[in-house]
Structure 1
Amino acid sequence: MCSFQHSRAFFFLSIVVFALTSYINSQPEPIYNYHYCSVGLGSLEQANDDYLSNLTVLLDSLSSKASQNYSFYKAISNNTGIYGLFLCRGDVSQYTCQICVSYVSNYIKTRCPGKSAIAWYNECMLRYSDINSFGVPQTEPHVFMWNAQNNITAPEEPNFGALGLMNNLRDKVLATEMLFKAGNMSVGNGNGFRYGLVQCTRDINSTQCGNCLQILIEKVQDCCQGRTEFRIISPSCFLRYANYSLIQEASAPVLPPLPSPLPGKGNERNLTQIAIIVTTVIILILVVSLCIFLKVRKRKPKDYFQELNVKSLQFDFGTIIIATNNFSEANKLGKGGFGAVYKGKLSNGQETAVKRLSMNSRQGDLEFKNEVLLVAKLQHRNLIRLLGFCIEGNERLLIYEFVPNISLDHFIFDPTKRAQLGWERRYQIIRGIARGILYLHEDSRLRIIHRDLKASNILLDAEMTPKISDFGMAKLFVPDQTEGSTNRIVGTYGYMAPEYVMTGQFSVKSDVFSFGVLILEIVSGRKITCVHNGEDREYLLSYAWKNWMEGTATNLIDPTLRDSQITEIMRCIHTGLLCVQKQPVARPNMTPIVAMINSDSITLPVPTQPADFTQSDVVSDTPLQQDIGSHVTTYELSITELYPR
């Protein structure tokens, strides 16, 4: 059954699937303008589950009416006190209207968890509220919008008569049933034409529409004097002005052609053929799906981690909105490759760091799920802790513990702040990082190679306990796997092991190399990239090795640590040099490294020369992405970890 011998059937199926996919992908996406949540539209209360359930019914109703060729519709959700309406722009096709209303209906709840909201798009607007404002013209809130580029007229000819055109359209719209009017005017001195359009929601009458537009027109002088393109939008009316035509052709979309019916019995025969084809396609889809399922199930490798129950970690979107003050700029901690990070405070007083994946993030649902499952299993006091996650519509949020002391590099590389880190603190940080790496390599059920250990990825909590963060470049190994290879080198120069930089080979020894660099940085207070020695600039590993060989390793110690335990410091320098040896086989694993750091009774082997980097090879703390020769596939899982700054 699953031998895939029916090539013609599958060829036909592939054509059908390709046609359907092409058609679906060709659907236009509405152009976003602006949205407001509960500002001047209704109560500021948080929507409860019952309200959200009734709101879903209302939005489904609005979307349904758009699909029935309504360009405007207002509704109340089953007498539950939720009022909603949508309005499509008067010049767009009914098909475009349907697409826009359906899109906004799905979008608006994810952005506004309260009891009222309004969203404006190029093609339509939609609003809802727990207050009945039908028939009441509203110009608040209103939004000014303009194109910042090439949008200023000559001072002596401001607007080219924008006010005149807007007033003319306002007078004409009052006589239209749709409360929509577009037009243009000629501009003197060979400057061509200017175009405008105005529209009102049809829950208000023509007189109210005129008054609403008049208020917006009066605001033109305040916001848009001298601009050749602008728009002002409000809940009950809007206007637009530009130096190009604003009218869209209200034509229906071109749908895939259906077979032409033949007269007489041929018509019935044709319908029968269509029914047979459709049935065959459905059966083939089911057969292919079943075969793929069985094939994948049969080939599925041993799963080295079972999917834990993470339902208890799921946060309600409304809770995060409140915790972050609706993702306010004041709460923004920073922005990474997959989205922004915000400080939040839960109802129980716990502070959090919330990573909000951007809408156009390359991280999909599967990767997000894998990240939650993996990071949730990594429970160790020296790893950043995942508190939970949130999925709501297009929103994907990761909630982590908040660490107030930022990262290690803010202390050890700062001439003033590094004095706050005496040797006891630094020794505690070194041991904590070692324990965290040991957990990743040996003690957790999953073997994880971090690949980007560096000072800026070591976060410090209130007690200065180190927390390894930023697993965005990590690789997941199955328990019996010892090394892997990649053709895409990612990481930070200076911290990367030489075999990884040159050939793409990585293993637990890659992290050991990075840890050795960290030890030398923490002891010296100097960056890996260079050491200032008078006018000379020297690579830290070369500097450390030269002083080690000359018996002057104390030159490497931060001057602020002169009165500290010199024996412990020298032992850490010795361990660091063992970690950065050129050959991976010469570097110890994390288990003996932890023992070396914590015990003075273990005899340390003599280190060999570290990797031979020249100054030109080293770029200051610069993340690297490069492609090299061959590629060997490894079992890997990409993780995006939070780095709250």
Structure 2
Amino acid sequence: MWVKALSSILSYLLMGIGLTAAAICNNTAGNFTTSSTYVNNRDFLLASVPLNASEKGGFFTASIGQNSDIVHALAMCRGDYPPDVCYTCLNSTIYDLIANCPNQKEALSWGVGSPCMARYANRPFLGILELEPMDSDYSTARITSNITEFDKIWDSLLNRVVSKASDGTSSLKFATGEANITVFETIYALMQCTPDLSPEDCDTCLWQTANDYVRYWHGYGGGYVQSPNCWFRWDLYPFYTSDLSTSADLPPSTPGTSPPIITKDEQNKSIRVRLGASLSVALVLAMCSACAFFTWRRRRSIQVGSAPPENSCEKFNLDNEGTSQEFPSMQLDILQAATNGFSDENKLGQGGFGPVYKGTLGDGKEIAVKRLSRTSGQGLLEFKNEVMLIARLQHRNLVKLLGCCLERNEKLLVYEFMLNKSLDMFLFDSSLAAQLTWQKRFNIIRGTARGIMYLHEDSRLRIIHRDLKASNVLLDHGMNPKISDFGLAKIFGGDQNEANTNRVVGTYGYMAPEYAMEGLFSVKSDVFSFGVLSLEIISGKRNSGFQISEHGESLLNFAWKLWSKGEGLELIEGHLVESSVPTEVLKCIQIGLLCVQTDPVDRPTMSTVVAMLGNDTIMLPLPAEPAFYVRRFVAEPIRPNSSDSICSINEVTVSNMLPR
């Protein structure tokens, strides 16, 4: 009984210092019954994890069972944790894992703020980089002055800490670092990878967590991001121990071996001893953390120097191999002269993160300048994300990024100028829609498909766009489509097919049901968006605002009903009848319906779509009825604000952030 009481007290104390666990259950990996061999193997394996991990330097892996009953487990503690704290943290984490994921064959649990982690699965995952699921949080303090100078110091610090952690040993990949902002302010950063990762994968993982933090919490003075393979945390007070109590020279556990058999008496004895020691450690940690917390709360802002940054783009990490590439920089005064001082007369439109202006350089070259809002924390990440992605993508159906500018607190992206702005300007404007003949629309559908296929299959990286929509398809002087806005894009690893996120981002009406409802995205998510876009191009109607009956029927369902009744040609706009080719129209409708099927497995790949669009002899499969709830998902709870209704012109996006 006293063991239970101590355990409860410890759990309460650990919650007070930010060590409560957060379990994530994988509901797609299969379930088990309470009487199965799998659950016995899982419970036996997890019971041995705290002791083994704490005695092996904070990292432990093992497997037990055979065939469908095999269980793989991994546990890791933060690199500055002594064995007793590691043991206590993993005990709490595993309890949370079993309590919250009672019958799932795969689950992950970690403590908030990255103190320790435990995971198990019925598949091997050792040495495999996995960036999702991701968990993050932030402090309430704000960085209020000279954010540009702060970002320069931040990036320099992260470069050092990432490099140090990635160069760690097969027993410990852990690093901390500090950087002074002013005489009175210091940034403290901690990064750690599971030691089974290669240095290259560790580097990739850590940079992804850092980028995710900037994406969601830029401008806040502290926080963390944790994924299955790495952790990142930073703050404005020293939250870690610089004198490591764990040994980096301890031998790692051997994967594929069963854990040592521990009797109940031995385990209970070990628990009593360790709980007694851990209680003392936890009390000290709680007192120290409380003092640090209240000191930190008094400091609500960061005072940084006022020296303006030099006129240059940052050296963005453009390759997974770790090399850097300087992206072309353009001087601010040149861009100001080109846009007539960013005058309203030169304004092309308003995107989700700032306005876009038309500019003319001294040699007569026309450009489009995206001016990110100075107050948009997400705008900074979009800036970096677009530069890192578009700079290495070359395709006739992708917009070309010409350069960027970071000067005097300005963040500017310079694109090739698209004479005809964006597709939505023509598609949904009754006065301009007639200019889009059927042949032009068919070419736009095919060109957009080729651009997405390049992102998914033919580029150096596998990229999921995640925000494909009419306003993100730009049209050049010949009405040829070019996909733009990679601010929400995700990079997939070589064999990675899907990922999961807790934060669903995108645009109402274009999101696949599995992404909108479960946060699961893949190349098939973009395929769904392409299907919606194709049906919009054919009909000239927005899926998000489509309503043909009192039941609020979506464009997708309306198109499917017409097609299934053999009346597909009634979907096209009236002025297209004369210019349309019925066989092409019906083929495009059928392909669009194949792309918006509920089950991602049933949707074709983009290479298949391109082949179907370009070959009249391919026999197309019959599509299933699309999901009805796609439109219903955000129709009632989400009320778009004023910025949601503004069209994106020649540029970027209106990327609605949709809570789940």
Which protein is bigger by CA-based radius of gyration?
1
State the TM-score, normalized to the length of structure 1: 0.50
Higher relative contact order (CA 8 A, sep 6+): 2
